[in-house]
Amino acid sequence: MGEKMSLSKMIEVGSVKIGGGSPISIQSMTNTKTMDVANTIKQIQNLEEQGCELVRVAVSSKEDGDALKAIKKQISIPLIADIQFDHKLALMAAENGADCIRINPGNIGSELKVKEVVNSCKHFGIPIRIGVNSGSISFELLDKYKGVNEKSLVESALKEIQILEKFNFNNIKVSIKASDVKMNINSNIQLRKECPYPIHLGVTEAGGLLRGSVKSSIGIGTLLYMGIGDTIRVSLSENPLEEIKVAKYILQSLGLRKFGVEIVSCPTCSRTDIQLIDMVKELESRSHEIKGNKKIAVMGCIVNGPGEAKEADYGITGMNGEGVIFKEGKVLDRVEESKLIDRLIELINFEEEGL
């Protein structure tokens, strides 16, 4: 990893520990109407199955707030209520079982209203997440720093933190998100230097599946490599299930978490002697069948394949219709190319069960 950072303060959101050296957790946000209890529960349960560890829902009305009780009863992961402007909705969310409240204290209104929210969160023992982005910076800071930039974002976050600390509240996590990747990275680097609280990472307005995945991988991955960040959300204009897949890939690529099988493959060239692209797609679609947290290499030619992929636990390659399965660089079996994936899965699971 990059430069060693001191550990952030640890907080608990429901059953999930965040910060203090805890595993980097994965979050998402529903895109259903929260008051539509049945569809919201269904989406959250699907997110749970995909590996989501915390979920956020928008609470924009009394009907949304009322729905939280029913939603909580049917899900297993912590529920975060996202509040904009109306402090009464924050109070309702806390009372109805939210495990965390996401607000901008400066947008809630008077200090008396903020104090009410703080006292409620103290009473129920739940943290507050301060969420800062380009749309939440005060006119005063925009004028002071000539627009949205690292300085205005960081000072905005620190001012929001100070509001909560004024009421002796430090059960806090904080996020600064920008759609500009470099601004996002630099803001969070500075925030980490000045803030002991756990940091939620993400790139806001990242875009669709491809563009958003690339921007998020750079914006989140760079910070994680530097030791910054305690929980992440990949924001995509896409089915929220895709956010979880990308988040897992980011964490697994950096060696921070393991989520079952890791598949690596060569990019293909004129030496490729097997249907590599189709094999990679099949292996990825069937990865749930494979036991253990193995690294599997899919290589295009038998000449270089085993040697180049010997750092993988298992690998496959082939030529002229014959498939070769190797383990740690040594040939394990030879089969027809059409049976290669089936035999690979069979061998891995046999060895896993025999351990």
Successive 10-residue mean pLDDT values, the chain, 355 residues: 71 97 97 98 97 97 97 97 94 97 83 93 97 88 94 95 95 95 97 96 91 96 97 96 96 91 84 85 89 87 70 84 84 89 92 73
Write down the pLDDT at residue 355: 53
Write down the pLDDT at residue 164: 94
pTM of the model: 0.89
Q: Which long-range contacts (CB under 8 A, 24 or more apart) does 251-254 make?
A: 251/24, 251/26, 251/224, 253/217, 253/221, 254/1, 254/221, 254/224, 254/225
Q: How far apart are CA 43 and CA 165, in angstroms?
A: 35
Find out whether 326 and 306 touch, Cβ atoms under 8 Å: yes
Q: Output the CA torsion 300→302→304→309 (10° steps).
A: 70
Round the CA-based radius of gyration of the chain to a whole number and report it.
23
The residue with tokens 């992440």 is 232
Write down the pLDDT at residue 85: 86
Write down the pLDDT at residue 305: 66
Write down the pLDDT at residue 110: 84
Report which DSSP code applies to 182. Answer: H
Q: Which two tokens stand for residue 225?
A: 């490599």
Write down the pLDDT at residue 91: 97
Find out whether 81 and 98 touch, Cβ atoms under 8 Å: yes
Q: In what order do the strands lie in the sheet with 295-298?
A: 262-265, 295-298, 314-319, 322-327, 330-336
Q: Which domains does the chain have, with CATH numbers?
A: 11-253 (3.20.20.20), 262-354 (3.30.413.10)
Phi-psi region of 14 (alpha: psi -120 to 50; beta: other; left: phi over 0): left
